[in-house]
């Protein structure tokens, strides 16, 4: 069979009627009408109906065709003909024509399928098949079958076209695509590194890059001026629904530019990428400072497709008789609120008081909320009597109240709690009340982020990364208060409340870079060890430069409007960062570990949970996940000694009988639960204070099998 003569199913049109063709692909679906057998043949380009008729095909071909099943891989020869009037199928693009088969070759058979691959109905008006009722874990386990489904196939082809659009556009603007190393040095960039042990350099490790940050800056120092890369990046982060341990980002860096250059470049590129998905983005994109975003939406990635912007009403209540507000303001707190316009009918008193005030808002971290409904020219609530007419009039004026509006206010001594809780409430109400217009896209630049954030230890850490340029260079790296007031020349691209990417103008002055490292608490030795090669490059004339990285998985997912980024990645990991198809991550042989020098990497230190190498107290601490202090050890040693003595006596008295474990009958004891929620103690570190070992925000649990 000469596959060079093969024609793609989706390329045939009514103009090909009468043409003899060779097709190849998979059996998508079939219908047997006695003397006629109809089959949907699927390849990458689409679906073509092929027909086996005893009047045209030989008896052998018809007998062989009768044995075909779903996902058999076949090749056929035949003639294109127009379908009879009334038998056309609008479910497929080639629904006006079909191929009358004369030859059939079964290239490969298929076992019974774990789930249906077909998504197209064979008959007009019939319901299309779907894999929506198949678990994602099963789909990922058989991802090669899942990719055959037209929806996933189309996503991957669209991703390819978007990537091609990126390459063509940046090439036209003078950017050069350059690959940077995958095996590199571990540097602090905010998340944990994936480490790769070196066989040649015993007990030394490479790190997989979290981003090409240092290399792209070195390319600027190297004079390349305009660089881009569709880079693979790796971050060992705590799990989130729309995050992968390995991902693709569009990495861009340019020299002799400022923020406006990048805004114009990325806006034009974004418009072209979204147009591939049939989405029109309006230019210029809106801009909002970080301070304004937090102050009016409670988020540094605000969704501006709808209103519900915060109004600060702290100044309305300087002498209020409402004790809750008065006490909060005496502690330096603030009061902010939103006006839910015209939704009084949907937000009854019962809903506001019993659902939102008592349950929903407290789940967002606030102690409560205050609500008022506008009716008959007045504000009504169960506490309106505590406010003066002047205060009520000021609220009506500030919020622009008309009948049918609902005011919701949150007050707290913590500004962060007010903005966070009100921000979550804003999104909750928008979704519940259907305030977000469908098929709308609102791109936004968020700018002027704080350069540093405070740490629990009383120091600072970088809000983005330590190579971001500050808004001024005359700062004292030892003055924490001054450092926390510094703004950065950083910017994020946000669309519909999703951060698609971000970047900054970089530091190109070696003294400023050293001051940033000093502010972060790095010593000269730390700088030399972690960034010595990088700082050395700054001694040779670093140009002003800046850049940006776009998360391409997230961007493509938004353009194609898929529910998850896993729908636009060929072989994604699941929500546990594992691959159900390959079984990764997996154990490796001891011989491999020995060859890499990893068996005794800890030297004299005992590995937790290795019972034969540690005493009973250390083992109990490990398996129970409770840290034991030096002061507690003598008491626990005494208790263990008594327990061992009692166990020995019990064994001696039991004779040949097994010792009694418990005198009470076995029964399940279940804690009555309501709704799972994260403990506030987790954020402060108190929850895991006594844990002997921690990974991220979780207990590191001992293995079940030693």
466, 520 in Cβ contact below 8 A? yes
Does residue 585 sit within a domain?
Answer: no
Does residue 694 sit within a domain?
Answer: yes
Query: Tokens representing 165?
Result: 């659009």
In this predicted structure, what is the pLDDT of residue 609? 47
Distance CA(443)–CA(638), nearest Å, equals 66
In this predicted structure, what is the pLDDT of residue 627? 77
Measure Cα distances from 14 to 41, 49, 101, 124 in Å: 17, 13, 17, 19
Report the pLDDT averaged over residues 605-610.
Answer: 50
Measure Cα distances from 598 to 8, 209, 241 in Å: 52, 22, 33
In this predicted structure, what is the pLDDT of residue 446? 98
125-140 burial string, b = 16+ CB within 10 Å, else e? eeeebebeeeebeebb
Does residue 30 sit within a domain?
Answer: yes
Quick one: what percent of the chain has pLDDT higher than 90?
73
pLDDT band at 687 (very low <50, low <70, confident <90, very high): confident
Does residue 693 sit within a domain?
Answer: yes
pLDDT band at 28 (very low <50, low <70, confident <90, very high): very high
pTM: 0.82
In this predicted structure, what is the pLDDT of residue 203? 86
Q: Of 49, 77, 108, which residue constitutes the final position of a domain?
A: 108
Does residue 328 sit within a domain?
Answer: yes
Place of tokens 């009555």: 672
pLDDT in tens, 378-399: 999 989 999 999 999 999 999 9
Does residue 689 sit within a domain?
Answer: yes
pLDDT in tens, 402-439: 999 999 999 999 999 999 999 999 999 999 999 999 99
Distance CA(699)–CA(676), nearest Å, equals 17
Q: Of 436, 465, 493, which residue constitutes the final position of a domain?
A: 436
Does residue 364 sit within a domain?
Answer: yes
Q: What are phi and psi of 416, to 5 degrees?
A: -65, -40
pLDDT band at 128 (very low <50, low <70, confident <90, very high): low
Place of tokens 């974004």: 270
Q: Of 131-145, 179-193, 551-565, which has the strongest mean pLDDT?
A: 551-565
pLDDT in tens, 321-364: 999 999 999 999 999 999 999 999 999 999 999 999 999 999 99
Quick one: what percent of the chain has pLDDT higher than 70?
89
3 state SS of 63: helix
Please tell me the total count of domains within the chain.
3
pLDDT in tens, 244-299: 999 999 999 999 999 999 999 999 999 999 999 999 999 999 999 999 999 999 99
Pairing state of beta strands 97-108 and 46-53? parallel
Q: What is the 3-state secondary structure (H, E, C) of 132-166?
A: CCCCHHHHHHCHHHHCCCHHHHHHHHHHHHHHHHH
Distance CA(55)–CA(554), nearest Å, equals 53
Does residue 323 sit within a domain?
Answer: yes
In this predicted structure, what is the pLDDT of residue 706? 38
Measure Cα distances from 509 to 522, 528, 531 in Å: 18, 17, 15
Query: Tokens representing 255?
Result: 């020299």
Report the pLDDT averaged over residues 468-492.
Answer: 95
Residue 612 has pLDDT above 50, yes or no: no
The strand ranges marked E within 142-273 are 176-177, 195-197, 205-207, 226-234, 246-255
**Is-cis flag, bond preceding 284, omega within 30?**
yes
Taking phi over 0 as left and psi of -120 to 50 as alpha, with beta for the rest, 376 belongs to left
323-341 burial string, b = 16+ CB within 10 Å, else e? eebeebbeeebbbbbbbbb
Report the pLDDT averaged over residues 16-43.
Answer: 95
Report the pLDDT averaged over residues 365-375.
Answer: 94
First vs last C-alpha separation in the chain:
58
**Is-cis flag, bond preceding 585, omega within 30?**
yes
402-420 burial string, b = 16+ CB within 10 Å, else e? eeebbbbbbbbebeebbbb
pLDDT band at 2 (very low <50, low <70, confident <90, very high): confident
Q: How many CB atoms lie within 10 A of CB 103?
A: 13
Q: Which of 180-189, 497-506, 558-567 has the lowest mean pLDDT?
A: 180-189
The CATH number of whichever domain residue 69 belongs to comes to 2.40.50.140
Structural domain range at position 346: 306-436
The CATH number of whichever domain residue 388 belongs to comes to 3.30.1360.30
Q: Of 90, 108, 126, which residue constitutes the final position of a domain?
A: 108
3 state SS of 641: helix
- Say if residue 44 is exposed, middle or buried (CB neighbours under 10 Å; 0-12, 13-18, 19+): middle
pLDDT in tens, 649-668: 776 666 555 555 566 666 76
């Amino acid at each position: 069979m000469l596959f060079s003569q093969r024609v793609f199913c989706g390329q045939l049109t009514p103009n090909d009627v009468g043409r003899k063709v060779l097709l190849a692909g998979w059996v998508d679906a079939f219908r047997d009408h006695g003397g006629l057998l109809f089959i949907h043949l699927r390849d990458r380009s689409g679906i073509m109906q092929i027909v086996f008729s005893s009047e045209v095909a030989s008896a052998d071909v018809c007998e062989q065709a009768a044995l075909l099943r779903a996902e058999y891989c076949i090749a056929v020869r035949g003639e294109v003909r127009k379908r009879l009037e009334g038998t056309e199928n609008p479910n497929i693009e080639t629904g006006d024509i079909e191929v009358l088969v004369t030859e059939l070759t079964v290239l490969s058979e298929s076992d019974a399928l774990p789930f249906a691959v077909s998504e197209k109905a064979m008959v007009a008006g019939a319901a299309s098949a779907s894999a929506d009722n198949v678990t994602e874990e099963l789909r990922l386990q058989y991802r090669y079958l899942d990719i055959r489904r037209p929806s996933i196939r189309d996503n991957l082809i669209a991703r390819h076209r978007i990537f091609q659009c990126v390459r063509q556009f940046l090439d036209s603007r003078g950017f050069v695509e350059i690959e940077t190393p995958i095996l590199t040095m571990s540097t602090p960039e905010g998340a944990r590194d994936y480490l790769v042990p070196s066989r040649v350099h015993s007990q030394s490790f490479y790190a997989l890059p979290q981003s090409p940050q240092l290399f792209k800056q070195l390319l600027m120092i190297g004079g390349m001026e305009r660089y881009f890369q569709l880079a693979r990046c790796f971050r060992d982060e705590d799990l989130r629904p729309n995050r992968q341990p390995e991902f693709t980002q569009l990495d861009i860096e340019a020299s002799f530019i400022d923020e406006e250059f990048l805004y114009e470049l990325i806006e034009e590129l974004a418009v072209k990428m979204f147009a591939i998905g049939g989405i029109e983005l309006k230019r210029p994109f809106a801009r909002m400072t970080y301070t304004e975003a937090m102050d009016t939406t409670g988020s540094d990635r605000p969704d501006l497709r709808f209103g519900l912007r915060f109004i600060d009403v702290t100044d309305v209540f300087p002498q209020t008789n409402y004790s809750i507000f008065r006490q909060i303001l005496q502690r330096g707190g603030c009061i902010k609120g939103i006006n839910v316009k015209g939704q009084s009918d949907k937000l009854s008193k019962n809903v506001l008081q019993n659902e939102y005030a008592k349950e929903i808002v407290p789940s967002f971290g606030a102690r409560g909320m205050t609500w008022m409904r506008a009716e008959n020219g007045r504000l009504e609530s169960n506490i309106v009597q505590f406010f003066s007419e002047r205060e009520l009039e000021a609220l009506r004026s500030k919020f622009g109240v008309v009948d049918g509006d609902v005011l919701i206010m949150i007050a707290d001594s913590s500004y962060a709690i007010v903005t966070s809780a009100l921000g979550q409430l804003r999104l909750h109400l928008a979704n519940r009340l259907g305030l977000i217009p469908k098929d709308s896209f609102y791109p936004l630049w968020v700018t002027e982020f704080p350069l540093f954030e405070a740490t629990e230890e009383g120091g600072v850490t970088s809000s983005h990364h330590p190579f971001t340029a500050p808004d001024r260079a005359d700062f004292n790296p030892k003055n924490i208060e001054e450092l926390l007031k510094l703004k950065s020349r950083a910017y994020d691209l946000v669309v519909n409340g999703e951060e698609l990417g971000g970047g900054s103008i970089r530091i190109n002055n070696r003294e400023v870079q050293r001051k940033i490292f000093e502010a972060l608490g790095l010593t000269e030795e730390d700088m030399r060890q972690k960034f010595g090669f990088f700082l050395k490059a700054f001694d040779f004339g670093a140009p002003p430069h800046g850049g940006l990285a776009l998360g391409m998985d997230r961007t493509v997912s938004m353009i194609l409007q898929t529910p998850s980024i896993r729908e636009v990645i060929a072989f994604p990991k699941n929500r546990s960062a594992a691959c159900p198809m390959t079984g990764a991550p997996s154990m490796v042989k001891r011989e491999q570990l020995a060859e890499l020098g990893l068996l005794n990497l800890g030297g004299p230190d005992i590995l937790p949970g290795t019972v034969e190498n540690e005493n009973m107290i250390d083992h109990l601490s490990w398996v129970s996940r409770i840290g034991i202090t030096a002061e507690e050890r003598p008491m626990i040693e005494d208790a263990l000694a008594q327990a061992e003595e009692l166990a020995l006596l019990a064994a001696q008295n039991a004779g040949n009988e097994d010792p009694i474990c418990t005198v009470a009958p076995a029964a399940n004891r279940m804690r009555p639960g309501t709704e799972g929620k994260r403990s506030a103690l987790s954020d402060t570190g108190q929850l895991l204070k006594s844990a002997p070992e921690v990974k991220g925000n979780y207990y590191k649990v001992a293995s079940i099998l030693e």
